[in-house]
Chain A
């Protein structure tokens, strides 16, 4: 069983609010990822990290920001939520070798009203 956790599982929030989606893993993985998943299923990479103090933007432009102060923690922040941010957000981690399985959290379903 994967030891990667996302909180909250579900969040409904008003426009303009600041929110942070939490992602934690206890496997000591260096590489962590945030994906945004459309209602129609497609996964888009929005942020990734190679390790502590490393963050990179993914293929899909996102107004969110991330930080990696500790290996186990990779939070995603939206400074001012908008209805266009409504989506499922999935966090993943994997070891720092070439072929390794990516472990996914259960996801956070965010609705901005």
Chain B
């Protein structure tokens, strides 16, 4: 089956870099995603990476994919207080299922 695990909590200071990690068990996924959830809201897509890539950069966000270790990470450079939220990684399997990780709560302190 598909299991997607994340650490529950990360606390950083404003201006530092944040690294949120994700491990998954099913390597047949085609795309991997990072979503952000702010309090009381649904999820919003931040970025994604195709499974045959190993890195993608999008402004302050850098996604690293290690297929051998089934490890995905999201690095946020110059983290701001507005980045405080819950971050979910997700795997897409072909045209159908989208499976989410357990979520990481990021707290950014001034």
Q: How many residues of chain A get a CB closer than 8 Å to chain B's CBs?
A: 26
Is B94 part of the binding interface, using a Cβ–Cβ cutoff of 8 Å? yes
B98 touches A104 (CB 8 A): no
Is chain A's binding surface mostly helix, strand, loop or mixed?
Answer: loop
A98 touches B92 (CB 8 A): yes
B94 touches A90 (CB 8 A): no
A43 touches B103 (CB 8 A): yes
Chain B residues near A (Cβ < 8 Å): 1-2, 8, 30-31, 33, 35, 40-45, 48, 50, 86, 88, 90, 92, 94-100, 102-103, 105
Residues of A near B94 (CB, < 8 A) are 98
Is A3 part of the binding interface, using a Cβ–Cβ cutoff of 8 Å? no
Q: Which of A59, A96, A98, A105 has most B Cβ within 10 Å?
A: A98
Interface code A4-25, partner B: CB below 8 Å = 1, 0 otherwise? 1000000000000000000000
Closest-by-CB residue of B relative to A94 is B98
8 nearest A-B residue pairs (beta carbon): A104-B42, A41-B103, A43-B100, A101-B45, A104-B43, A42-B102, A99-B31, A106-B42
